[in-house]
A and B are shown apart, each in its own frame.
Chain A
Amino acid sequence: MSYISFAVLTLVYMELSMRVVTAPICAYGQAGCHAPSLADLFERVIQQSSRMHGISSDLHSELEQYFFPRKNVLGKHKCHTYGILTPDDKENAQRLGREQLTDVILSLLAAWSDPLSQLHRSMSQDQNQNFNDHSYSKALEISDMVHELREGVAIMAEKMKLLGVLGNTMGYISPESLVPSSAFTFYKQGELNSVDHHDLLYCFRRDSNKVKNYLQILKCTILPGLDC
């Protein structure tokens, strides 16, 4: 018992003495918080988008196992974000300009917030039990990530505007005008089944890749450095 009490005391002491204090980060440099640099913001955002894309790729490939290989076939359907004009070429992307690029990124992220949460809900209700726990957690994770990434990119855009890097000419086009109102039902074919999930994930995987790529282009345009 003495050992246990000693161990407990030691842990308590360590807990109190070596408490790690978190400092809030704010993009606007308010008082009392540590403002990260634009480079740091870009770094975080790109990492987040890369991770998001990786998870969505895994999820998609997992889903593909349960179906006879469709080999990246979307079928005759489109992604619900087809309304958002995205550059499909390097030249087009560079021609677009940083402000519009930022807009596109934000639009894409906004367009996917809702469908992913619905996907998560739908997967949990799936009767076929095609998804294991990993898929379930991954779906939840990417839905959270989309939200975070959207907020992060917004903060970064604000900072860029503050820095004068980004002009004010960009007009944030609300995704609702470009995206069908009910995005999830866009993929629905009759009854809700796993096929819808597959298509949705297919589209999301692609769009996350676009986001990541656009962010990288944006970064190398605004902050040319060693990584570019």
Chain B
Amino acid sequence: MTQETGATAAQLKGYSPPGKPTLTRCRSPEKETFTCWWEPGSDGGLPTTHALYYRKESSERVYECPDYHTAGENSCFFNKNDTSIWVNYNITVVATNTLGSAFSDPVDVDVVYIVKPNPPEKQTVTIMEDKGWPFLRVSWEPPQKADTRSGWITLIYELRVKLEEENEWEMHLAGHQKTFNIFSLRSGGKYLVEVRCKPDHGFWSEWSSTSYIKVPDYFHREKSVWILLTIFSAFIFLILTWLLHMNSRSLKNCILPPVPGPKIKGFDNQLLKNGKSDEIFSALMVSNFPPTTSSNYEDLLVEYLEVYVPVEQELMQEESKDLHGGCLKCERSTSDSDSGRGSCDSHTLLMDKCGETKEEGRHTDRASSRMLTEAQRHQKGWEKDTLTYAHGDMVSPDMSNGRVKTWPSVFSPLPQYSSNPLDKQSSLEMAKQHCLSTSSCLTQPGHSTKEALGPSNWDFCLGNKQPHLLHPQTQVGRQLQAHSEVNISNIGRKQAPAGLQSPALRSTEYVEVQRVNEEDLVLLQPVVSGCGRIEGYPQMPKGKDYSKVKGVDSDNMLLLQREVMEEDWCPGVDQEINGGTGNCYTSSTVNTTQKPTACIHTAMPVQGDMALAMNGYVDTATMCTLPTC
């Protein structure tokens, strides 16, 4: 009654039976003893006592916890005598207060599976060296309580390492061994090492106490070497850079050789770009041209060449400035990179560009000049000297075209010719033929020249006594044949060239008609100059006088036309010209248009089918081919 009253009174006060306790965990450190902890429930406001009861497997007998204190509060410690392995314990905790008691849920425990050993003990960390490189050797002992010596417990170990300033640990599983080596240490670093262990089937122990170790600064030696190496390599690099800079140009030339550009002696690209053509071409003037030292004028004396000019034959004409100009235009318009070669040398060029020139064609000039150039090309010995030489007379200093022309002289070996003047007719004929042959040979660029022509394939279809027509090579000079004067009369006589066939004359070279002598012979000279240059040495070459064909009259006469020149009047010349009042040097049979600046036309027998170019040039090449001008 009192009890009930007390209980009721207690209940009235708000007390209650205790709450249900719960077994939190049971642990065995060495598989020989174990401890269970519980969590009490609410005590209901009244003093509550707890009791732990257990029952062993396959036995109904209930035992109470033998030791409540060793393991602390709310614990039960089972000593060795009370501990059986491989036996299932059924444990229950009971909380009791005056109002009642509460039973916890039973827990089945097999000690084998609740082993959590103590951390490893006697942990040592030492620094050892392996060929100069340090490493950590960590060694430890198993926890004292765990009997691994008898084999009762088998532990595996694990350790972790980290630098002092790091946050993450580096884990290493050590297995059953009790030592471990750690490599790849940072010089001068301070390391923390911890070890733990676990039985085969159980829980990991806590981490052991931290061991601190400081790695000595062994990189000092190595770092200094690296520093020295870096400085040395930087020094070498600087030297190399400096050397490279010094020799950059030569190196660049060595690695990337410049593309050879046009090399015209005296040709200045910058002047060309500037547009001052006069300066450019004046620069091309060779001072020592004509050569005055070794040349023997006598040897190089150009003798007259009897020119038998059939209808379609080459015509030795004066070179007019315009022709030069036209050819200049030709040259200039074409980026002819040939050095020292007349731009109008190329057969195709002339054919293409003759339309640009406004002068009337002088096909023979072209032919001759072409022959010249062609021969020149084949002639290796003929360098720019020759050309400039030949050109020097022709070109007046103020000529716009600085290119070297080759048309002034056409040298041809005429073996059958002696130094004596030949018979006009025959010589002319032969010369013509020879010229023709050579020109025909030479007009075909790339084609092999006739052997008969010899090394110096120059058709010398020039006027007489033209010392300026220079042949630097004595060899060629020997071959320089003395030709009779150009028998322009042949032209006028409309003589068809005996046996002369219309060769495939394609080259058109320009030869300056020096003058026409009394016998109506056209004296040719390479360089056209102004008036006053009749025979003998030419005066200062001024302008180029091109005689070009104005037209062909009904009588198959080639009408030459001479265009503007520097000097309009060459009275001396005019006298020579039959009926010529113009400044042009004309042939004998000249139908000149009486104009001060007009050109004297020379009628020349021309083939009927000669095509007259628009610019007045008669392209001998068109004899056989269609005119392209």
Count, A-B residue pairs, CB within 8 A: 65
A228 touches B149 (CB 8 A): yes
What are the residues of chain A within 8 A of B148 when measuring CB–CB?
A: 228
Chain B residues whose C-beta falls within 8 Å of the C-beta of A86 in the assembled complex? 86
Say whether B151 contacts A219, CB under 8 Å: yes
Which of the residues B58, B84, B149, B200 comes within 8 Å of A88, measured between beta carbons?
B84
* Chain A residues within an 8 Å CB radius of B200: 50, 212
Contact assessment for B108 and A213 in the assembled complex, using a CB-CB cutoff below 8 Å: no
Residues of chain A contacted by B107 (CB below 8 angstroms): 71
Interface assignment of A20: CB less than 8 Å from any CB of chain B: no
Contacts of B113 in A (CB 8 A): 72
A57 within 8 A of B: yes
- Residue A220 at the chain B interface, CB threshold 8 Å: yes
Interface size on A, residues (CB 8 A): 30
Contacts A50-B200, A90-B32, A209-B112; A74 near B88 (Cβ below 8 A) = yes
A198 interfacial by beta-carbon distance below 8 Å: no
Instruction: Name the interface residues of A59-83: CB closer than 8 Å to any CB of B.
Output: 71-74, 78, 82
The 13 sampled A-B contact pairs (Cβ below 8 Å) are A72-B110, A72-B113, A86-B86, A88-B85, A90-B32, A90-B147, A206-B110, A209-B86, A209-B112, A209-B201, A219-B151, A221-B151, A227-B176
Distance in Å: Cβ of B57 to nearest Cβ of chain A:
7
In the bound complex, how far is the Cα of B55 from the Cα of A73, in angstroms?
A: 12
Contact with B150, one of A89, A206, A212, A228 (Cβ below 8 angstroms): A228
Instruction: Please indicate the chain B residues that have their CB under 8 angstroms from the CB of A150 in the complex.
Output: none
* Residue in B58, B84, B112, B151 whose beta carbon sits within 8 Å of that of A217 in the complex: B151
B176 cross-chain contacts in A, Cβ below 8 A: 227
**DSSP class of A's interface residues: helix, strand, loop or mixed?**
helix
From residue B187, how far is it (CB to closest CB) to chain A in Å? 34
- Report yes or no: B152 in contact with A90, Cβ–Cβ below 8 A: yes
In the complex, which residue of chain B has the Cβ closest to the Cβ of A217? B151
Contact partners of B139 in chain A: CB under 8 A: none
> Are A210 and B86 neighbours in the complex by a CB distance under 8 Å?
yes
Q: How far is the CB of B60 from chain A (nearest CB, A)?
A: 10
| Residues in B neighbouring A73, C-beta threshold 8 A | 88, 108
User: Does A216 belong to the interface (CB within 8 Å)?
Assistant: yes
Partner of A74, one of B57, B152, B201: B57
**Contact status A220-B57, CB under 8 Å:** no
Within the assembled complex, what's the spacing in Å between the Cα atoms of A72 and B83?
Answer: 18
Q: Across the interface, do B85 and A89 meet the contact criterion of CB distance under 8 Å?
A: yes
**Contact status of A228 and B84, CB under 8 A, knowing A71-B107, A74-B57, A209-B112:** no
Please tell me if the beta carbons of A228 and B86 are within 8 angstroms of each other in the complex: no
Per-residue CB proximity of B76-114 to A under 8 Å, as 1/0? Answer: 000010011111100000000000000000011110110
Point out the residue from B32, B112, B150 that lies within 8 Å of A221, measured CB to CB: B150
Within 8 A of B (CB), among A84-111: 86, 88-91, 93-94
